Structure 1
Amino acid sequence: MLKQFFILCSGADTDILNDCSIGEQNKYAGIGATVFFTALMATIASSYALYTVFDNLYTSIFFGIIWGLLIFNLDRYIVSTIKKRDNVLDEILQATPRIFLAVIIAIVISKPLELKIFEKEINQVLLEQKNELTLANQNQIAEQFNPKIADLQGQILGLQSQIDTKEAEVNALYQTYITEAEGTSGTLKLGKGPVYKEKREKHDAALAELQQLKTDNKGKITAIENEIIALQGDYNANVAKTQPVIDNFDGLMARVNALGTLPWLPSFFIFLLFLAIETSPIIAKLLSPKGEFDYKLEDQDTTVKSWTMQQVAERKLLVKTDNDINNKVYTEIADEEEVMNYKRKKARELMQHQADAFLKKQKGVL
């Protein structure tokens, strides 16, 4: 049962192969098994690749099976169309386009499996790329907010500088009237005289101005700080909004690119393995000697070809003979008087009908 199934997978003519030896049947069963398991590997590889795209198990398996059937059909067609010939060079020329197609199929099958085999290494590369993208994204968003925040922070420093300047002025006035009272500067008279009072009043006025300045600037600074907090909130919101895009940066194309950054030798060996599997049925057919099945298939093909060519030749000869007979018959009766009179009568009737039709048409126009 299994042997017949693999023979069916090989694309061989079962009617002919059933009359061949067991060894010949086993050869084509082996070829069919290779075709079947190659299609099975294609199904697994495609399902995994599609799972990274759709992130849905059932959808991936469904389309993976369709892809596997497509590869199975292609491989079966490639193997079944290669026929043994008497000239090795003709066989190689016949197999060249099929080998080229097998190489393409091997690449398509091996790549998703490479992604699965080197999944841990690829995840590490993707993590590094995500970190770089995250930093680049944060810097890019920060460029939209940093100038505004820096300008607002500069305004806060300016307002604080006004307060500091006014405090320095008030402290200086305080020292002035204190030293005046102590008699260590100014009039150098101990006690609180008129000059002391004048300087004290000046200090008190400046102190009141300082308190008012602090009150006014504190409100302004609070408003500016709230504006900075709002900008920082907008920045964080933009970062949080764009971060999921970076977190999902692990699709099929990203994984293939990440695989390309890894050492090429392991991937190349996996590709060679699948190339050997994919081309093994073709190589087996090219290397194997012409067997019983090949002779019987050639006999069947040449029989049909010879019969078809014979039928075509007979039809051509029949047409040629019939034309020669017709030409000879028409030549012999061309000069008979009875035929000439009959043709003359019919020609006269035809001309009369034409004249009547022309007259009727002209009357209709008038």
Structure 2
Amino acid sequence: MLKQFFIICSGSDTDLLDNCSIGEQNKYAGIGATVFFTAVMAFIAASYALYTVFDNYITAIAFGFIWGLLIFNLDRFIVSTIKKRNNVMDELIQASPRILLAIIIAIVISKPLELKIFEKEINQVLLEQKNELTLANQNQIAEQFNPSVTALENDITFLQNEISTKEAEVNALYDTYISEAEGTAGTKLLGKGPVYQEKREKHDAALAELQQLKIDNKVKIEANEAQIAQLKTDYDSKVASTQPIIDGFDGLMARVNALGELPWLPSFFIFLLFLAIETSPIFAKLLSPKGEYDHKLEDAETAVKTWVEQKVNERNILLKTDMALNNKIYNDIAEEDELYTYKRKKARELMQLQADAFFKHQKNAL
């Protein structure tokens, strides 16, 4: 039962193969088994690749099964259409397009399995890429907020410097009127005279301005600090909202690109393995000698070909004979006086009708 199933998978003519030797049947059963298990590997590879895209087992398995059937049909077609010739070069020319197709199929099958085999290494590469993307994303978002934050911080610094300058001015006025009272500067008269009183009033006025400046600048500084805090909150919110996009950077294309960052030799050997599996049925048929099945298949095909050529040749001969007979018949009829007289009469009537129609048309035109 299993042997018969694999023979069907090989695409061979079961009616012819049933009458062949056991060894010939085993050869094609082996070819069919290779075709079948290649399709199974294609199903597994496609299911995994599609799962990374859809993240759904049912969808991945369904589309993977369809892909496996497609690969099975292609491999079966490739193997079944290779015919044994009497010339090795003709066989290679015949098989070259099929070998090229087998290489393409091997690449398509092996790539998803490489992604699964090197999953841990790919995850490490993706982690590094995500970290780089996270830093780049934070820097790009910061560039949108930094100018505003810097301007507000500079404004706060200016307001604080304004207070410090006023404080220095008030302190200087304080030292001036104290020195005047002590007699160590100014008029150098001990006591609180008119000059002291003038300097004291000037200091008190500056002190009042300082206090008012502190109140006004404090309000401005608090407003600027509130704006800076809001900008930082907006920055954190934007970083948090864009981070899931970076965290989800692990799709099929990202994994394929990450696989390209790894050493190429292990992936190349896996590709060679699948290439060997995919092309093994083709080379098995090319390298094996012409067997019993090949002779019977050639006999059946040449019998049909000969029969078709014979039918076509018979139709050509029939056509040529019929044409020769028709020519002879028409030549004999052309020599009959009765037919000549009849056609002459009809030709005269036709020319009269044409002359009458032309006359009527010209008359109407006038």
Q: TM-score range by the shorter chain?
A: over 0.9
Residue 356 of structure 1 and its aligned partner are, at CA, apart by: 7.0
Q: Which AA in structure 1 matches 2:130?
A: K
Q: Which AA in structure 1 matches 2:79?
A: V
Q: Which AA in structure 2 matches 1:253?
A: M
Q: Is residue 145 of structure 1 aligned with residue 149 of structure 2?
A: no
**Structure 2 partner of 1:87:** 87
**Structure 2 partner of 1:134:** 134
Q: Is residue 66 of structure 1 aligned with residue 73 of structure 2?
A: no
Q: Is residue 21 of structure 1 aligned with residue 15 of structure 2?
A: no
Which moves more between the two structures, 83-92 or 220-229? Answer: 220-229
SS in structure 2 opposite 1:294? helix
Q: Which AA in structure 2 matches 1:294?
A: D
Distance 2:240 2:364 in 1: 90
**Structure 2 partner of 1:195:** 195
> CA 1:19/1:355 → structure 2, altered by over 3 Å: closer, same or farther?
farther
Which moves more between the two structures, 70-79 or 182-191? Answer: 182-191
Distance 2:309 2:359 in 1: 58
**Structure 2 partner of 1:33:** 33
1:276-300 deviations in whole A, cap 9, x for unaligned?
Answer: 0100100100111111110000000
1:243-280 deviations in whole A, cap 9, x for unaligned?
Answer: 22212111111111110010000100100000001001
Residue 364 of structure 1 and its aligned partner are, at CA, apart by: 8.7
Q: Which AA in structure 1 matches 2:211?
A: Q
Q: Which AA in structure 2 matches 1:116?
A: K
1:324-344 deviations in whole A, cap 9, x for unaligned?
Answer: 122222223322333334434
Distance 1:144 1:339 in 2: 104
What TM-score, normalized to structure 1?
0.93
Which moves more between the two structures, 284-293 or 186-195? Answer: 186-195
**Structure 2 partner of 1:46:** 46
1:132-191 deviations in whole A, cap 9, x for unaligned?
Answer: 111111111211211121111111101100100111111222223333333433344443
Q: Number of paired residues?
A: 366
**Structure 1 partner of 2:217:** 217
**Structure 1 partner of 2:170:** 170
> CA 1:364/1:17 → structure 2, altered by over 3 Å: closer, same or farther?
farther
> CA 1:161/1:63 → structure 2, altered by over 3 Å: closer, same or farther?
same
Q: Which AA in structure 1 matches 2:293?
A: F
Q: Provide the aligned C-alpha RMSD in A.
A: 2.1
Distance 1:278 1:76 in 2: 11
Instruction: Note the 1:114-125 alignment, pairs <5 A.
Output: 114-125=114-125
Distance 2:88 2:191 in 1: 129
**Structure 1 partner of 2:180:** 180
Distance 1:234 1:283 in 2: 65
Q: Which AA in structure 2 matches 1:149?
A: V
SS in structure 1 opposite 2:249? coil
Distance 1:243 1:207 in 2: 52
SS in structure 2 opposite 1:86? coil
1:181-222 deviations in whole A, cap 9, x for unaligned?
Answer: 334333444433333333322222211111000001111111
Residue 365 of structure 1 and its aligned partner are, at CA, apart by: 8.3
1:93-132 deviations in whole A, cap 9, x for unaligned?
Answer: 1111110111011011111111111111111111111111
Residue 10 of structure 1 and its aligned partner are, at CA, apart by: 0.9
Residue 229 of structure 1 and its aligned partner are, at CA, apart by: 1.8
Gap regions ≥5 residues in structure 1? none
SS in structure 1 opposite 2:170? helix
Distance 1:77 1:364 in 2: 74
Distance 1:365 1:26 in 2: 92
Q: Is residue 204 of structure 1 aligned with residue 208 of structure 2?
A: no
**Structure 2 partner of 1:343:** 343
**Structure 2 partner of 1:296:** 296
Distance 1:333 1:230 in 2: 111
SS in structure 1 opposite 2:162? helix
SS in structure 2 opposite 1:278? helix
SS in structure 2 opposite 1:331? helix
Q: Is residue 314 of structure 1 aligned with residue 317 of structure 2?
A: no
Distance 1:40 1:359 in 2: 86
Distance 1:130 1:277 in 2: 37
Which moves more between the two structures, 32-41 or 236-245? Answer: 236-245
Residue 45 of structure 1 and its aligned partner are, at CA, apart by: 1.0
1:64-112 deviations in whole A, cap 9, x for unaligned?
Answer: 1221111111111110100011111111111111101110110111111
**Structure 1 partner of 2:104:** 104
1:46-71 deviations in whole A, cap 9, x for unaligned?
Answer: 11112222222222222212211111
> CA 1:331/1:203 → structure 2, altered by over 3 Å: closer, same or farther?
same
Q: Which AA in structure 1 matches 2:301?
A: D
Q: Percent identity?
A: 77
Distance 1:261 1:19 in 2: 55
